[in-house]
Amino acid sequence: MELTVYGELRAATGTKTVELDADVETVDDAIAAFIEAYPRARSRLLDEDGDVRPSVRVTLDGERVDGDAACPDDAEIRLFPAMQGG
């Protein structure tokens, strides 16, 4: 599975796109596996309760999705944390 990250998440990964080798069923599972691989991303993606922040946009194969969306092995996920500025 390929994950593309934007904004401050690149500091956690060191690159724009990462391959994630994880057996996941949902987008939330994929995000959890991503955070396990890149723990510095946690504060940018999850709130204090461990839920994905409302300001984070997640797309699966180009479509905006919720965390409970099914996530196939060959999926492309993009994670957009909240951006500041304007």
Q: What are the strands, taking DSSP E only, across 7-75?
A: 17-19, 57-60, 63-64
Instruction: Fill in the amino acid letter for 62.
Output: G
pTM to 2 decimal places: 0.90
In the chain, what are the domain boundaries?
Answer: 2-80
Is residue 4 within 8 Å of 76, Cβ to Cβ? yes
CATH code that applies to domain 2-80 = 3.10.20.30
pLDDT averaged per 10 residues, the chain (length 86)? 93 94 93 95 93 93 95 94 67
Residue 16: its pLDDT value, please? 96
Residue 82: its pLDDT value, please? 77
